[in-house]
Structure 1
């Protein structure tokens, strides 16, 4: 069972991917890349979003609603050295779909096929990531047929419709149904993969080649190792400790400082602080079960401490307060 990490705007930047690499996913993706900005050679897109040390282990995802922009952008990504390029057909955000991109591509089968036909021999591994539905479109099977027709690297389905955004629950029955259709391409599932036990339950009776972890790894890269371990052995040996969490947060913060400077780092680390530490103030977690994912540590005042660190504007004070937790 392969474990990939998803492309997430504002999350899977170079600094966080350096953290994720330590937990050995089978493959990583950069942030989503806007085809229009890429074709205009936007500095931020090329120098920040696409910053990458190892393009053999890191791919990228492109989004757009224009046929020519998508084709040109994919060719640029290939020329930049990326060997795995994913076409985003799942993003539910209104600002994305209003331009015909993301999950809006689900209703534009002909455009998608034109793009795949044009790029099928460029020498890169092309894949698509879709949602289960978009408005009146409720036929994801046709994109599995398309993936087979053009021998795509893989197809990934997120078991929500565009309308659901990230609310409700992902429908893993749809994922299971599609995964068991005969195919010539790899099939990945995605959606609501937050804990090793629930991951195992969701993928039971599916014919998956892998899963793609997304929101579940924000502040919890341990999920990569724990999910792999639990799927193989039914046990978890590598638990998350409080001291290890502090150390990783400091490393993540220093990565951002190095790559984006102190001013951005002070702000950008904030989105990760609660996710990194929240398990240690959640009194409802079972820390003593056979499949515990964290050490038996609990601090009821930790949330208040983290909120104060989030408000801290100085980089040295921020580092010092994290060290003192």
Structure 2
């Protein structure tokens, strides 16, 4: 299957329905196999990504064992997620790309937008926006496995107008998909996303790389908001939702409806059960990251703050189930 054919297959339903394709953003300690399956159960997007993984660690004699949990794919996950990698060395990416291909991944996404200072100090993530030569080396390295290699980035590092040279540079690499979080690194998520620049991005794409699919990320909370964005900016091919999933686990529903508390509790129980299955396989993981999800399920409930605090005090999955049981009895 050619690079373009892979992405055509991934988004064929969206194209048939004349809508943008939707994806769940890669998020650290969030978009592992457990939560991807929770979102599949609630309302699945067209495309999933893994949480981002250090390219160097994947083949490092010692560190590679720490990536097993990040890279695990359950057989029920269809379509298979795209692996997102970060780093700064073309050689590291070449080795990692061959390894993830052997593990069954069919596409790679490169993280060129992470604003985390630990990643930036490693000359990776959004730091690549300031180093075109290194970014090109990373892309070429990742292509050594002959898998489709897409890129996720931001408008710039310090200044918005950096996009005027950075985005054309990436488009000239002829990547199959370019995802742009329409803020700079310095802006983090503290200012509204710059939707006013989307039409400029579309024009750049149409001129320099008409075969590249353009995906937009930033402040898009749900399916309906994504549809509206694409209608307002013709030429946008895809919509990526990130933090919106924490406000609504059903964010990808094309026909939204009010979900009962019982449904929310059942979804939480499903995630807790999947977590136990994951842990029983000996895959790296800790209980603490599970706690960051509790706010998703208690939102909108009576005494939500107190309930979330009670859940945050739990130490085991059985503790969580006991609270779920109690709430269901009260219902």
CA contact (8 A) 2:80 2:105 kept: no
3-state SS of the aligned residue for 1:212? strand
- Aligned match of 1:6: 25
3-state SS of the aligned residue for 2:292? helix
Highest RCO, 1 vs 2 (Cα 8 Å, sep ≥ 6): 2
- What per-residue deviation string (whole Å, max 9, x for no partner) do you get for residues 77-133 of structure 1? 223221110110000011110111000001111122233345546331110011011
Matched, 1:257 2:280: no
Q: Relative to 1, partners in 2 of residues 1:258 and 1:118: Cα closer, same or farther, differing over 3 Å? A: closer
Matches of 1:155 and 1:148, distance apart in 2: 8
2:294 to 263, 266, 273: 273
Matches of 1:73 and 1:80, distance apart in 2: 10
Matched, 1:192 2:219: yes
**Displacement of 1:3 after TM fit?**
0.5
Unaligned runs of 5+ in 1: 230-235, 282-298
Q: TM-score, normalised by structure 2?
A: 0.81
- What per-residue deviation string (whole Å, max 9, x for no partner) do you get for residues 12-48 of structure 1? 1111111122222111011100122113052444320
- Aligned match of 1:233: none
1:134 to 157, 160, 163: 157
- Aligned match of 2:199: 176
Matches of 1:211 and 1:251, distance apart in 2: 27
Stretch of structure 1 that moved more, 90-99 or 200-209: 200-209
* RMSD over aligned Cα atoms: 2.5
Q: Paired residues, what number?
A: 297
Matches of 1:191 and 1:137, distance apart in 2: 15
1:24 to 39, 44, 68: 44
- Aligned match of 2:118: 95
Q: Relative to 1, partners in 2 of residues 1:43 and 1:110: Cα closer, same or farther, differing over 3 Å? A: closer
Stretch of structure 1 that moved more, 262-271 or 35-44: 262-271
- Aligned match of 1:208: 236
- Aligned match of 1:123: 146
Matches of 1:201 and 1:237, distance apart in 2: 15
Matches of 1:8 and 1:185, distance apart in 2: 23
Counterparts of 1:1-325 in structure 2, within 5 Å, are 1-22=20-41, 23-41=43-61, 42-53=63-74, 54=77, 56-120=79-143, 122-135=145-158, 138-181=161-204, 182=206, 183-203=210-230, 204-218=232-246, 220-225=248-253, 229=254, 236-260=255-279, 266-278=287-299, 280-281=300-301, 299=302, 301-325=303-327
Greater helix content: 2
Q: Relative to 1, partners in 2 of residues 1:265 and 1:100: Cα closer, same or farther, differing over 3 Å? A: closer
Unaligned runs of 5+ in 2: 1-19
Stretch of structure 1 that moved more, 62-71 or 194-203: 194-203
